[in-house]
Amino acid sequence: MQPSRTIGSLGISLLICSLAAGACSDTGDTSAGNSLNPQGGAGNADSGSDSGSDSSGGGGTTFFDATPGEIVALKIDPAAATLTSVDESKPTQSFVISAVMQGGATQEVTSKADFVLEPLAVGDVDINTGVFTANGLVGGAAKLTVSLPTHPNLKASADITVNLERTLIVGGAPTDAATKFTALVSDPTRAADLVYPLDGAVMPQNVFPANLQWMRSADGDIFRITASKPHMQLTAYVQHTGTFDKSWLVQEAAWQALAQTDPDDQAEFKIDRYDTAAGDAVEAATSRKVTFARAAITGSVYYWDIQAGLIQRINDGSGTAETFMPTPPSGTDGNNCVGCHSVSPSGRWMAGRLGGGENIGAVFDLTKDLTSAPAPTEYPLSVTPPSLRWWDSSWNPAEDRIVVAYEASNATTRQLRFYDPFGGAEVPVTGSLPAGLQPSWSPDGARIAYIANPDSWGGQLTAGDIAILDVAGPDSVGSFNVIHTGASLSSSPEGGATDSYPTWAPDSNLIAFAHGTGSRSDLPDGKQSALYAMVKDGSGVVRLDTLNGSSTDNFQPNFSPFDEGGYYWLTFLSRRDYGNDTAGTRGTQRQQIWIAAIKKGVAAGTDPSAVPYWIPGQNTASKNISAFYAPRPCREDGEECSVDSECCGGDCRPDSTGKLVCSPPPPEKCRQLNDTCTTSADCCDEHPCINNVCVEQVQ
């Protein structure tokens, strides 16, 4: 007999499950399973004797004596099963596979069958015994399909449903907290009033857990927080004791399970309040629904924290900002700061300007330790006299050039220039470079968008148009022309004649930009602004109303390099309220960094934006601006992971120690064309794995 083997056990770093009771064994229909499209599967080589019996009473043919033509069907028993994992328990269900012979006789062939479980995320199947085990980490519906190596076109299938239930008692809540909520009253004036997350927000699966925030609370109150999907129910009880900011940071394991269970369904959040003073429980007057896209943003966001006077970094999956460069080189004024930064497409290099308005250019290698004082730059930087100066910058795809808005002493306009970011020298360009600000190089390298006809320096425009400069070749430019005038949107809700901060989507076709009465966001000089999108030729201009919401406080859009889950992902800063007035920024109008999913494939002129979410890890007591997302390569086999979409091969599963790691696909599930992969061995039909994608053979 072979040692026990399993298929499945897709992982996620986490969590969740439940309140109601172990494995259910529904007998279901025991007729022959439906025929499915053929799927590959690794057969079990066990050659032990078969103990199945002839249930019809006729014919003495055994499985081993039968010729292929004598087996006419397969059946699986039960044909459906529902299991409930309570608080991460791992319920099981046994499946028996039988071969149906000509004449109606049956023989059990469980140990000889091939098993395919789809999706793998919900659990494991032991291919020797036919026992399915839920992992307690992911719920949902799955299908178990079986076949025989000798009869690959005969298949049977069973439907498996895994429900997750989990109860948490946190924040000093009493163990009998559930008894406070046996009856609810409706009173919107006393309801908790959930205000974050925003209703309809779209988030990637690996985002750090949301800090749920609500508006009403008094000392001693108890809150019942529920998060639900069709196959998952999370219930948490939290009490207001001592200093309480009317919030609950969702347990990370529970959050990740919620993100991956029923990935195509929204999660709904509600908060019921037990009003201690009144002695009754008040039902939630509001709920919030969140969609978790089948995506993982595996990178870092770099942004300027105005209060700290430093660029901060937040890594994917983290809820804490990192001061990675505490002591930048100083400008001639002795000010140790880096401003107006930009990050290269690979995420390795950062360009910025030094000093408090000195605008002396510098380049940093983000893979190096930048904690020394001062942090090292990548070319010999001469501060006195100053070397290259610039205001804004943007990297070309090859990362060997940056285009800058040149800063000259006493200049009234900023001229675009090309710089060698490592040699520290201006690069001669074939063709004419125009005057302009806020350049943005397209990911395909063919164009540079910029602000033409500005009426002021980079951060304080009150007029500006968007223009495109064609890049004819290396260090060569073609024509430039205005594709959108700021004055054309003067009758918009935000008014004004200022276009600012154009940014390219990863497809180099869509441009997002800000428009309003000015480009400066921080008060008291702050203006009104909303975000828009258009095609690269200036057509299909559309206000991103879903992203903007009712706010005209949205500035500085910047597309991340990620094309994940059917969306592009757009960072921006906003003065809108984040959460409540104790855990969040309500009433302060402090800028914070948000990110919105931008749906791919939407017709030009149609709003492709989703409701945004606040990027966890920011200092809510500071104004945070100028966010740049830098990519992280997908994780290779053996690296730790939390969700499938973080892995190049698409499978995050427990290893022999139980740690979740990226894993190669199981033998029966090779990767199809355009699927992610780690090596060519992951791909079907000997297709090569190039840049972590299974592609056609190159002839």
527: helix, coil or strand?
coil
Q: What pLDDT score was predicted for residue 67?
A: 55
Rounded mean pLDDT of 132-149?
96
From the CB of residue 48, how many other CB atoms can be counted at a distance below 10 Å?
A: 9
Rounded mean pLDDT of 635-646?
76
Confidence of residue 338 (pLDDT cuts 50, 70, 90): confident
Q: What pLDDT score was predicted for residue 661?
A: 87
| Tokens linked to 129 | 């015994």
Picking from 336, 344, 395, 343, the residue whose alpha carbon sits closest to that of residue 360 is 336
Structural contact between residues 426 and 418, judged by C-beta atoms closer than 8 angstroms: yes
Picking from 229, 222, 169, 233, the residue whose alpha carbon sits closest to that of residue 192 is 222
Structural contact between residues 609 and 603, judged by C-beta atoms closer than 8 angstroms: no
**Which residue ranges make up each domain of the chain?**
6-163, 171-293, 299-631, 644-694
> pLDDT > 70: what percent of the chain?
85
pLDDT in tens, 546-580: 999 999 999 999 999 999 999 999 999 999 999 99
> Does the structure show a pLDDT above 80 at 457?
no
Phi, psi of 140 (to 5 degrees): 135, -170
Q: What pLDDT score was predicted for residue 441?
A: 98
Rounded mean pLDDT of 233-260?
96
> Does the structure show a pLDDT above 50 at 639?
yes
Q: What pLDDT score was predicted for residue 15?
A: 28
| Tokens linked to 103 | 């004449």
- Per the DSSP assignment, residues forming a β-bridge with 116 are 145
DSSP, res 258: H
Rounded mean pLDDT of 150-163?
96
pTM summary value:
0.82
> Does the structure show a pLDDT above 80 at 675?
no
Structural contact between residues 574 and 591, judged by C-beta atoms closer than 8 angstroms: yes
**Second CATH level (architecture) for the domain 299-631:** 6 Propeller (2.120)
Superfamily of domain 171-293: Immunoglobulins (2.60.40.10)
42: helix, coil or strand?
coil
Q: Do 171-293 and 299-631 agree at the fold level?
A: no
Q: Is 498 exposed, middle or buried (0-12, 13-18, 19+ CB in 10 A)?
A: buried
Residues present in the chain in total: 699
